[in-house]
A and B are shown apart, each in its own frame.
Chain A
Amino acid sequence: MIVGERKPMDEILAMLEPHRRVLVLACGGCVTVCLTGGEKQADELAALLRLAARKKRRPLTVDVDCITRQCDREFTANLKCNPADYDAVLSIACGVGVGFMSELYPATPFLPGLNTTFYGASTAKGIWQEYCYGCGDCLLAWTGGVCPIARCSKSLVNGACGGTNDGKCEVSREMDCAWHLIYKRLEAAGRLEELRKVRPPRDWRLDRGGGARRLTHEELTDEEVRK
């Protein structure tokens, strides 16, 4: 799932400064699960915005709405509020949602209430951990399921650097050394041979190096879209 964190309140208030009528739009997808962009968080954020406006004696109307997913055209039919009726929409979806909705409603500014941070999963109550980086060339088959691109702070492909420290990364003692995890996994599985192979440098075209990426299922596309 995509994980996001709410932007600092000051930044949100600065974004909304020119606007009088604002819709806080939640997303029922990933960000609801990681407890940052769901309906409950939208209600909380709206209350904070109203409070901040009242403190500054600034007129501000804040409504709240939520759709199942902001990254899918079909769910916009479920909007109870019309984005066009507002000066701005503060979307607390991930960046995909904000970008997609901006395209669907070009006349209304969609502002990001979250910073989209990573692809992750919840490892313990209240904790989400990055697992994938979307690098476009998955290595997990030979790394024991631990991604060195997402979880090694240097995205190394041939093993730990000199900064591995009792299983932790030189960047932070709170962070596991991904290569230590990979080593332990492969050792336990009797597959250390995987680590002995020299891995070639990455083809970064598959990552962001080749610009924005797209997936096309030819058999599903309309001819005019294909062009």
Chain B
Amino acid sequence: MTQPVSKLQAALAAGKFVVTGEIGPPKGTNIEPCLHEAEKYLKDTVLAVNVTDLQTAVMRVGSLAISRLLLERGIEPIFQMVCRDRNRLALQSDLLSAYVLGVRNVLALTGDHVALGDHRQAKCVFDLDSVGLLAAMTNLESGHDMGVDAKGNPNVLDGAPSFFKGCCVTPCAEDLDMQVIKLEKKVAAGAQFVQTQAVYDPAAFEKFANKIAHLRVPVLVGIVMLKSAGMAKYMNSSVPGVTVPDPLIQRLTDASKDDREKVSVDICGELIRSMKGLCQGAHLMTLGWDHCVPAIIHAAGLA
């Protein structure tokens, strides 16, 4: 294998169980609180931090800018890129920009539809899909872009980037085989790691892990903090491919208000413990409760 381009790639190649975190850029220019949280709670606890890209189609500061600011603070970013807002020119250009700014980990996503966000009259782009975006990255790495010159030959880049390319999957989706087929295509297009949608059912995850074992791609299981029973019920009714089992909801219901955060942390820790043997890492999505990350890692027995 060639030299790892990021700490994340190196750790996974070395067979370490990796934990990643996630932050969402703010809506507006007041970025200090988000960067401060990342420095305080994520810097020394997780290996790399995902920066969401206009998550749920809500307009915010861009993922690339925050990725660079994390780098400046000694935090390795995972630059999330969705296909909703940019055509292939802008996607490829932003990939080159990311590379020259020192960003190496890129997570390619389709992106939520604008109908889910706060600019519902906007036009979706989806010039490329997530498979196409991964292929575009692989192509840039080979020293070409997607365009052709007058003779029909691929354009040659003056300096090629090198990325650690990631993708997403929903392991507990009802149509699991359909998910697996798409994941196979993402890996064929160049995906080198996978971060999953939230998982609350280790048995279902095991089934998924067995189905994708042939792909030999490192998988970081998605752990989304359940902040309350209400949120768990909301996820069951509204988040595709995510099912929170009733016993977990009951534990959150039974917890006193003061206890709830601890129960939530404990659930994350237990989920990681139970799935640790089935994957190569965990991706923590604390939805603003970044201060819980150290406690989750402790509860998972990873520190």
Contacts and interface: CB of A to CB of B under 8 A. Distances in A.
Interface of A: 153-167, 170-172, 179-180, 183, 192, 195-196, 198-202, 204
16 contacts: A154-B84, A154-B124, A158-B130, A162-B168, A163-B113, A164-B240, A170-B115, A170-B116, A192-B181, A195-B178, A196-B184, A198-B131, A200-B132, A201-B127, A201-B132, A201-B146
Contacts, number: 96
Contacts of B181: 159, 192, 195-196
B240 A165 contact: yes
Contacts of B135: 198, 200-201
Interface in B160-187: 168, 170, 173-175, 177-179, 181-182, 184-185
B20 interface: no
Interface of B: 83-84, 88, 109-113, 115-116, 124, 126-132, 135-136, 146, 168, 170, 173-175, 177-179, 181-182, 184-185, 188-189, 197, 240-241
Nearest to A157: B129
A200 B134 CA distance: 11
Query: In terms of DSSP, what is the predominant structure of the interface of chain A?
Result: loop
Nearest to B115: A171
Contact of B174 (A154, A166, A202): A166
B178 A183 contact: yes
Nearest to A154: B126
Contact of B197 (A162, A198, A202): A162
Given A159-B178, A183-B175, A201-B146, A165 B241 contact: yes
A200 B111 CA distance: 18
Contact of A160 (B116, B124, B128, B175): B175
B169 to A, nearest CB: 8
A159 B185 contact: yes
Nearest to B238: A165
A183 B188 CA distance: 20
A179 B185 CA distance: 15
User: Which of B115, B124, B126, B188 has its CB near the most chain A CB atoms (within 10 A)?
Assistant: B126
Nearest to B133: A201
Contacts of A166: 174, 240
The 8 A-B pairs at the shortest CB distance, nearest first, are namely A165-B240, A161-B110, A159-B182, A158-B131, A201-B132, A171-B115, A156-B129, A154-B126
A202 to B, nearest CB: 8
A170 B197 CA distance: 15
Contacts of B168: 162
Nearest to A171: B115
Contacts of A154: 83-84, 110, 113, 124, 126, 129
Nearest to A201: B132
B65 to A, nearest CB: 25
Contacts of A172: 115
Contacts of B197: 162
A199 B112 CA distance: 21
B278 to A, nearest CB: 20
Contact of B112 (A155, A159, A164, A170): A170
Contacts of B111: 161
Contacts of A158: 129-132, 182, 185
Given A170-B113, A198-B135, A160 B178 contact: yes
B67 to A, nearest CB: 21
Residue of A154, A158, A162 ringed by the most chain B CB atoms within 10 A: A162
Which residue of A161, A163, A172, A195 has the most chain B CB atoms within 10 A of its CB atom? A161
Contacts of A170: 112-113, 115-116, 240
B4 to A, nearest CB: 26
A153 B113 contact: yes
A159 B112 CA distance: 15
A204 B181 CA distance: 25
A163 B112 contact: yes
Given A166-B174, A201-B88, A201-B146, A160 B112 contact: no
Contacts of B185: 158-159, 196, 198
Given A166-B174, A195-B181, 20 more contacts: A153-B124, A154-B113, A157-B132, A158-B130, A159-B131, A159-B178, A159-B182, A161-B110, A162-B109, A162-B168, A164-B241, A165-B241, A167-B174, A170-B113, A171-B115, A199-B131, A200-B132, A201-B129, A201-B135, A201-B136
